[in-house]
Chain A
Amino acid sequence: MISPPAKRPLLATAVSRRQLLSASAAAAGGFVAGTILPSPMWPALADPCDANNCDLHKFGTTNINYMTSVKHQGPCNACTAFAVVATIEGTYNRKKFGASGDNGLNLSEGQLFYAAGPKDKCYLSHWWPRDALPYCTQVGLAREDEEQFAFWDNSTPKPTISHIKITGSMNLIDSTNLNKTKQNMKNWIFQTGPIIAVMVQYEDFQAFGDMWGRDHPGAENTNVYFPGVGGSPGGVVGGHVVSIVGYSDAGSPKYWICKNSWGKKWNGDGYVRIAQGSGASGECYIESLEVLGVSLP
């Protein structure tokens, strides 16, 4: 069990992801967070509390050990490709390899962006994950080291040696019940792997991580982001997509652990904690726009 974290300025919860992992493992009697348990396939286990395993992830869990290193999407509006690929990688590595990080599957974001993205490519305004996933089902993605695509070259993709395909995706949103959506998300993170999530990006989101990364290079930021956390949220920039790899319900505010695609220096280590929503206006709606898990063969 995790002790209630001490509050810090900016509503921080002073518990590191490493602590979260070890605490989850302890609570589970040796269970390593992210390990697949012999449990029914989703959605049969709709409410884990019904299966008497609430305590296993009551306080949070994370798939961070299955994620590849944080990437940088560069100047293009390519967050969808990076979040989708990160989610597929994490799900695959957890299910197939049991291996961690860059020792596991590392897929090509460039292939997805240039082969399946909208025609406007680099400066596209909208590309929803649901529109990227059919390509991952029908064509599949090449491994990064096998890809035939120059990442910043939008030439016609060539056939690749092999492709990793997904079998589909699971919409985790219950449009009538935010708490049910959040429970769906936690169940998926606990049972299957990371999640693709779209959020509203306010001006202060990038600044939040820029400032921390500048002042604390390499250090995890345990502060929790929400619009206006440091004052005014500023204007809305647009939409953004991240991969939610874990969560914590241990303190206040409760938060999602998100892998971003703005490089390892942003926010100290490239990850960010985003407050779980309450349904109020002024949030970043990370549970309400598109929340998708991916399924593998």
Chain B
Amino acid sequence: MASGWTGLAQMLNTQFDTNLDDLSRQFKDKHGPKGNGDAAHGKPPYKFGQFVDKHGGLLNSASERGRFLIDSGSRHWDESINILESVVKHSLTHEKPVGTPKPKKIKFLDILTDPNATLAKAEVRDHNGNQIKTPDDALIEPAENFVVQITCPPPT
């Protein structure tokens, strides 16, 4: 695990820090206005990992993209992947007022490794440090930004 993730958190943070509006626009172009896909226009729902695959510059080589996709696969995650996907969709499609894009920043902390873990997990907190516990947690909407801590099993 984490084989394709080295430096990815930093790259994502750079995108969220310096390129948030573009990131939001690209995300909606790819996954529809709310990230849930748009079948009529051939846009698939957002799944963690595929955005990185589709948007060049975050990972350079086919090997890096493939390894990251494998690491991001559902087989390798506990249910917290659903929370992470929900928060990413909310953040990059957020509007305020309605019709005016106002994406929220997500900060990815350095990836941790748990020697006893067999699955990866993501802990998501809002700007006050409150943990987001479900994909539709009431804390998501009022949150100003988010912090994500991903913990992986040891590399194999």
Q: Which residues of A contact B (CB under 8 A)?
A: 77, 118, 120, 123-128, 131, 173, 175, 178, 198-201, 228, 231-239, 277, 279, 281-285, 287-289
In the complex, the answer to whether B44 meets A175 with C-beta atoms within 8 Å is no
In the complex, the answer to whether B73 meets A288 with C-beta atoms within 8 Å is no
Which among A123, A126, A288 has the highest number of chain B CB atoms within 10 Å?
A126
* A-B CB proximity, top 3 nearest: A238-B73, A285-B66, A238-B75
Which among B45, B49, B53, B67 has the highest number of chain A CB atoms within 10 Å?
B67
Q: Which residues of B contact A236 (CB under 8 A)?
A: 47, 49-50, 69-70, 72-74
CA distance A228 to B49 in the complex (A): 16
Q: State how many angstroms separate the Cβ of A65 from the closest Cβ of chain B.
A: 31
In the complex, the answer to whether B61 meets A125 with C-beta atoms within 8 Å is no
Q: Which residues of A contact B1 (CB under 8 A)?
A: 125-126
Q: State how many angstroms separate the Cβ of A242 from the closest Cβ of chain B.
A: 14
Q: What is the chain B residue whose CB lies nearest that of A235? A: B47
In the complex, the answer to whether B156 meets A127 with C-beta atoms within 8 Å is yes
CA distance A239 to B53 in the complex (A): 15
In the complex, the answer to whether B50 meets A288 with C-beta atoms within 8 Å is no
10 pairs, A vs B, C-beta closer than 8 Å: A120-B118, A127-B156, A198-B70, A200-B69, A200-B73, A231-B39, A237-B75, A281-B53, A283-B62, A289-B63
Q: Which residues of A contact B45 (CB under 8 A)?
A: 232
Q: What is the chain A residue whose CB lies nearest that of B70? A: A239
As a 0/1 sequence over residues 45 to 66 of chain B, the CB contacts with chain A under 8 angstroms (1 = contact) are 1011110011010000111011
Given A125-B1, A125-B153, A281-B56, residue A239 in contact with residue B65 (CB < 8 A)? no
CA distance A163 to B46 in the complex (A): 48
Q: Which residues of A contact B72 (CB under 8 A)?
A: 236
Q: Which residues of A contact B61 (CB under 8 A)?
A: 175, 288
Q: What is the chain A residue whose CB lies nearest that of B3? A: A126
Q: Which residues of B contact A200 (CB under 8 A)?
A: 66, 69-70, 73
B90 at the interface (CB under 8 A from A): no
Pick the contact of B74 from A178, A235, A277 — CB < 8 Å? A235
CA distance A205 to B53 in the complex (A): 18
CA distance A172 to B67 in the complex (A): 17
CA distance A149 to B55 in the complex (A): 47
B34 at the interface (CB under 8 A from A): no
Q: Which residues of A contact B76 (CB under 8 A)?
A: 125-126, 238
Q: Which residues of A contact B44 (CB under 8 A)?
A: 228, 232-234
CA distance A234 to B73 in the complex (A): 11
In the complex, the answer to whether B74 meets A237 with C-beta atoms within 8 Å is yes
Q: Which residues of A contact B70 (CB under 8 A)?
A: 126, 198, 200, 236, 238-239, 289
